[in-house]
Amino acid sequence: MQIEPRENISPWRVIFAPIAAIIIAFILCAFLIAWTGEPILESYGYLFKGAFGSRFALSETLNRATPLIFTGLAAAVAFRAKFWNIGAEGQLYFGALAATILGTGAITLPPLLMIPFLFVAGAVAGGLALLGPVFLKTTLKVDEVVTTLLLNFVILLFVNFLLEGPLKDPMSLGWPQAASIIDEGVLPELMARTRLHIGFAIALGASIFIWALMRYTIWGYEIRAVGANPNAAKFSGISINKTVFLVAMLSGGLAGMAGITETAGTKGYLTLDLSPGFGYSGIAVAMLANLNPLGVVISAVFLAGIYVGADSMSRAVNIPTYIADVLVALSVLSVLVSLLFVQFRVRWR
Amino acid sequence: MDWVELFISAGFWAATLRIAAPLIFGTIGELICERAGVLNLGIEGIMTMGAMAGWMWVFQGGSLWGAVLFAAMVGGMFGLLHAILTVHLGLSQHVSGIGITLLASSLSYFLFRMLLPNTTTPPKITSFQPLDIPFLSDLRFFGEAFFSHTALTYLALAIIPIAIYLLYRTPIGLATRMAGENPVALEAQGINVLMIRTGAVIVGSAMMAIGGAYITISAFDAFFFDMINGRGWICIALVIFASWKPGRALFGALLFAGLDAFQVRAQQLAGGDIPYQFFLMLPYLLSIGAMIIISKRMQYPQALLVPFRRGDRI
Amino acid sequence: MANLKISNVTKKFGPLTANDNVSLEVSEGEVVALLGENGAGKTTLMNILFGHYVADEGEVEIDGIKLPAGSTDAAIRAGLGMVHQHFTLAENMSVLENIMLGTESLWSLKSTVARSRRKLENLSNEYNLHVDPDAGISELSVGERQRVEILKVLYRGARILILDEPTAVLTPAETDQLLANLKMMVAKGMSIIFISHKLHEVLAISDRVTVLRHGAMVGEIETRNADKAILAEMMVGRKVTRPKAEVMEPGSIVLELENINVAGKDKATDLLSNVSLNIRESEIVAIAGVAGNGQRELAELLSGLRPWDSGEFKYRGEVVSKADANEFLKMGFGRIPEDRHHTGTVGEMSVWENLLSENLRKSPFWKFGTLIDFSAHRKKAAELIEQFDIRCSSMDTPARLLSGGNMQKLILARTLTADPKFVLANQPVRGLDEGAIAFVHEQLLAARTNGAGILLISEDLDEIFSIADRVGVIYHGHISQLLNVRKTDIQQIGAMMGGDMKAVA
């Protein structure tokens, strides 16, 4: 077997390869469903209906997609520069902490200012959560994969401590949860009588912004160059450390914003189960999108659809909801392989 | 005086060994992969899978040693998948590893739920029991601290000298190390780099899975969700701390486990003056600290993360 | 009876035919030179022989037995041994470990270190190739590493030895030693395939010469019937003359280094020690030397990538205070790096983006200093592609798909369009064919005519003697006094490269 680069990369292949890969993931998962004894097509039918089948389902899916777009962008930006930030989960909680500390009465502004203020605060907090790893990486070359991963656990324990101590809402009847975000800070509904809030529109804006940044600005150029070939980037006068730092702040900031959409939007207050692993799923989102910021929107909606749909599927037929995670993981791996065939051709002999 | 008693209590040392054992399996497994040039971020998921598979084997009526073998086999299969993606197809080791972790852990949870749909409290199995070693187990202090462990714990300790011997004293070990230092040199001497790397990833992943299984069939007797809880990532930190040397990996795992055992007891001693969460943070912070300490004189395998294609650069 | 027989080998990579119906025979005790330009397909042919590649057509026989395709192991067991151009040694391991690799069954549970060490010592004595078995590879000089490579092959009992450009990294004295050693091996009945593009070496060692051009065999000739002119004609096939520097009056000093020191990582040894040199306008100063004597550090220093510990660095009369690649570019430095893929280009990014990489920050004010001026840069890129004749399907093609020559043209275009006052050219023609070499030299000479001061770092004395004005030799981090190229000769420079600085007249 020999792998050779293709001379021309056909745009059709770029589009169809991931679609084919996802179909393969669904086929592989069908074996698991078959094993549970439930009808395959019918089960998938429940999944799609649960995800996109009604106005309510769609609103739930888009609501679920909102934080995933942010964490997906966080991973996409970082991975593009080969800065392996696996700590979006922790950064999300730091953002949520900022919302709780500043948005539950400490500061009151009119909504038009309060909401942007919370997003900025969340972004700053998310960036702060990455400060340690990026500092260790640029000064001591400490591997950021491990530091960001382990910080997730530390941050979650820290949030746990705050929720049982200083930040505990006295009105919560013993539950470890923080006080509610004040009304001025709550993200308004985007679709009447649903949970879908304006955070989704902001997420769309963020992905267009990041896309333009990567493509049209010197910063984006530097990020891409540092990721693809740090030696050449350094040779042409780009500061690697400065670029990695910039990437870290962008990435952490985006993940922090996901904390804002959840505390100030979906939930209204901070709890320990604010995020069912949005930080980790964001990595899958970014990979499915091949790190393209616009693609992140599509893959986040896709992933959210699977999670929301799997919930209603498991209510209708007897299939554990973990099928959603399996489906996502298989999609990630098969898309990864499919992208290889976009750029390379395999010759068997 | 409570603090002194803590260190001279046999229970503390016994707990240290118990905590260290799965880390030793995981760390040596990761070390073998990385020595051959392949980072395996699938470790967290593979340990989860090992924990589930091992436990399930016993729960379904299999033997304990059968469970160890079964876990190793399942782990090896995920290793094979990682090897196909990174070694044969040359895909990003970071991305593939994270994908493997997602797949292995979600599949473990799915299968566990499938096979046990209606349980609320996790059922128990009869796990490995402490070996009764004549004379030694009856010693005061030492008996309880070091000679009251399960066979799997001793296996963990035995793995270190075996790994050292294989890596440094046999042709296959030399080839494995060369695959991580300069795969082209291996190819030039007529040894198939892809085969060596694939083998190393499979063997390493099998060991990770045994490490996971240790937790459910030796340390505890049940499988919980989120049971691995970052142990895989800690193993990766330990490999770096050990500077890719098995002997130091043992030292690192024991040091780490000692601190973990200490933290649990210190929590009780502190008696609530310090919130318990801060004690729970210690292992993670210690791992980060260890990586900082070692960062200055790190000597990583030269070809780590570098894919190899036949005919490259020769 | 033929010992080794390659028949009708063809190998294609996509649209490129690397080997086109090539046949070659070598008998016992014979030295066959495989001559060809860079990119002629010599290395591909040897990789097929060695099972690293599988040929599309054709086969290899040793002593009349067909070699299975794609098996390096089988090739080695059949008695082939290859000393690769880029050494295949692991830096962090010992000489003995590097040599023992692959000599024992992988499944054996014991390693016979003591016996292997004895065998290695016997070989060392027999062939007069001495090296400490326990030394780490990283401690060895380039010449010693090559000795390890040859020992590795002898250890496996090779009867047919293939050497791929073995003298590229050696001093003239080390080259003579190598050639003497090879003659001794031939006398003991070994066959040798000697791959080179250096005519005088080919004439000195071989019995027969086979010439490859553009992947095809263009001829075979007994060495005693050949001379340089005949071989050059066969190798290049057309009349390509490298441009020669005409005498020019140099201007004022552009760049001056005085007693520059750069300490090594362990602070014990100096990578560059007391380096002093100056480059004037309209002048090419060459630094000759064997690889690994401080060229890389000197190049990094002049590229703004490596700080210096002491000494004075002056550019156009002003003191340069610190290494800063960006600042150097702004001051008018042009740099052609040693490694086109590794440092010269970002392979994943497009041709036009690579052309822009050093002008990135020159953005008009209304772009807020951060937006890239797409239309202007793309227009400029189109002009450069035209002007420097960079062959690519479009300016949006990823740079990694360019051939070596075109990649070098891209780098030249990027560097020279900024009208640099000082140009660092580090091994600018390594790995290029004659046409591309002539192009690069023309461009460098044109920059010199425009008044640029150029520092050329090269291991190739022919290159230095054809375009440089002054030449110095770098040895163990020291740079000799600069000599007028027209008043010295290859012998003198060669002696200095071997460390005989007294050769400076």
pLDDT at C133: 93
Most confident of B62-76, C44-58, C230-244: B62-76
CATH of B10-114+149-297, one of 1.10.20, 1.10.3470, 2.120.10, 3.90.1640: 1.10.3470
- Asked if residues B287 and B237 have their Cβ atoms less than 8 Å apart, the reply is yes
**Closest residue, chain A, to B101 (C-alpha):** A329
User: Is A15 domain-assigned?
Assistant: no
Res C408 pLDDT > 80: yes
Res B225 pLDDT > 80: yes
B113 interfacial to chain A (CB closer than 8 Å): yes
User: Per the structure, how many domains does chain A have?
Assistant: 1
In total, the C-beta contacts within 8 angstroms joining chain A to chain C are: 82
> Hey, what domains does chain C have and what are their CATH numbers?
2-236 (3.40.50.300), 253-346+420-503 (3.40.50.300)
C-alpha–C-alpha distance, residues C180 and B154, integer Å: 59
Dihedral pair phi/psi, residue C64, rounded to 5°: 80, 0
Q: Is A237 in Cβ contact with C304 (below 8 Å)?
A: yes
Q: List CB contacts of A281: < 8 A, sequence separation 6 or more.
A: A68, A71, A303, A307, A328
Dihedral pair phi/psi, residue C275, rounded to 5°: -80, 125
* A204-223 pLDDT per residue, tens: 999 999 999 999 999 999 99
Q: Token pair 């590879």 is at which residue?
A: C137
- Asked if residues C83 and C164 have their Cβ atoms less than 8 Å apart, the reply is yes
C-alpha–C-alpha distance, residues A216 and A210, integer Å: 10
The alpha carbon dihedral of C290, C293, C298, C303 has a sign of positive
Res C337 pLDDT > 50: yes
Note the pTM of the prediction, 2 decimals.
Answer: 0.92
Q: Is A238 in Cβ contact with C305 (below 8 Å)?
A: no
C-alpha–C-alpha distance, residues B104 and C441, integer Å: 58
User: Is A32 domain-assigned?
Assistant: no
Phi-psi region of A21 (alpha: psi -120 to 50; beta: other; left: phi over 0): alpha
Res B271 pLDDT > 80: no
Q: Is C88 in Cβ contact with B188 (below 8 Å)?
A: yes
Q: Which of residues 290-309 of B touch C (CB under 8 A)?
A: 299, 302
The whole-chain average pLDDT of chain C stands at 89
* C177-231 pLDDT per residue, tens: 899 989 989 998 899 999 988 888 899 999 999 999 988 999 899 999 988 888 8
* B135-194 pLDDT per residue, tens: 777 777 777 777 888 999 999 999 999 999 999 999 999 999 999 999 999 988 989 999
- Asked if residues A294 and A211 have their Cβ atoms less than 8 Å apart, the reply is yes
* A279-304 pLDDT per residue, tens: 999 999 999 999 999 999 999 999 99
Token pair, residue C420, equals: 């640099």
Q: Is C47 in Cβ contact with B311 (below 8 Å)?
A: yes
C-alpha–C-alpha distance, residues C326 and C335, integer Å: 12
Percent of all residues in chain C with a pLDDT value above 90, rounded to a whole number: 54
C-alpha–C-alpha distance, residues B283 and B167, integer Å: 29
Contact residues on chain A for B117, CB-CB shorter than 8 A:
318, 320
Token pair, residue B192, equals: 């198939």
Residue type, A41: L
Angle between helices A323-343 and A11-36 (to 10 degrees): 150
User: Is A29 domain-assigned?
Assistant: no
Q: Token pair 């894919």 is at which residue?
A: B307
- Asked if residues C455 and C479 have their Cβ atoms less than 8 Å apart, the reply is no
C-alpha–C-alpha distance, residues A191 and C30, integer Å: 86
User: Is A139 domain-assigned?
Assistant: yes
User: Is A213 domain-assigned?
Assistant: yes
C69 interfacial to chain B (CB closer than 8 Å): no
pLDDT at C504: 52
Domain residue extents for chain B: 10-114+149-297
Of B201-205, C247-251, C281-285, the least confident: C247-251
Torsion angle in degrees (nearest 10) through CA of C111, C113, C116, C121: 170
Q: DSSP 3-state assignment of C97? A: helix
* A76-94 pLDDT per residue, tens: 999 999 999 999 999 999 9
C-alpha–C-alpha distance, residues A325 and C194, integer Å: 58
What are the E-state strand segments in A118-176?
none
Q: List CB contacts of C164: < 8 A, sequence separation 6 or more.
A: C42, C43, C46, C82, C83, C84, C85, C195
B187 interfacial to chain C (CB closer than 8 Å): yes
Contact residues on chain A for B99, CB-CB shorter than 8 A:
284, 287, 329, 332-333, 336
Q: Token pair 């609530």 is at which residue?
A: B272
- Asked if residues B255 and B20 have their Cβ atoms less than 8 Å apart, the reply is no
Q: DSSP 3-state assignment of B49? A: helix
pLDDT at B314: 39
Res C354 pLDDT > 80: yes
Residue type, C499: G
How far apart, in Å, are the Cα atoms of B252 and each of B6, B26, B36, B158, C130?
A: 21, 12, 21, 16, 41
Chain C positions contacting chain A at CB under 8 Å are 13-15, 54, 303-305, 324-326, 328-329, 335, 337, 342-349, 353, 356-358, 360-361, 363, 369-372, 374, 393, 400-401
**Closest residue, chain B, to A141 (C-alpha):** B295
The residue segments making up the domain with residue A107 are 39-317
The whole-chain average pLDDT of chain B stands at 90
The domain that holds A220 is classified in CATH as 1.10.3470
pLDDT at B196: 96
C-alpha–C-alpha distance, residues A291 and A285, integer Å: 9
User: Is A167 domain-assigned?
Assistant: yes
Q: List CB contacts of A38: < 8 A, sequence separation 6 or more.
A: A317, A318, A319
Q: Is C345 in Cβ contact with A235 (below 8 Å)?
A: no
Q: Is A158 in Cβ contact with B234 (below 8 Å)?
A: no
Res B52 pLDDT > 90: yes
H helices within C357-489, ranges in order?
Answer: 374-387, 404-416, 434-449, 461-467
User: Is A159 domain-assigned?
Assistant: yes
pLDDT at C232: 85
Contact residues on chain A for C371, CB-CB shorter than 8 A:
216-218
Of A2, A221, A237, the CB nearest to C325: A237
* C424-474 pLDDT per residue, tens: 999 999 888 888 899 999 999 999 999 999 999 998 888 999 999 999 999
* Best residue in B78, B284, B312 for a mutation probing chain A (most A CBs within 10 Å): B284
The Cα of C363 is separated from the nearest Cα of chain A by a number of Å equal to 9
* C225-257 pLDDT per residue, tens: 988 888 888 888 877 678 888 888 999 999 999
Res A50 pLDDT > 90: yes
Of B81, B277, B288, the CB nearest to A147: B288
User: Is A160 domain-assigned?
Assistant: yes
A224 interfacial to chain C (CB closer than 8 Å): yes
pLDDT band at C173 (very low <50, low <70, confident <90, very high): confident
C-alpha–C-alpha distance, residues B259 and B287, integer Å: 11
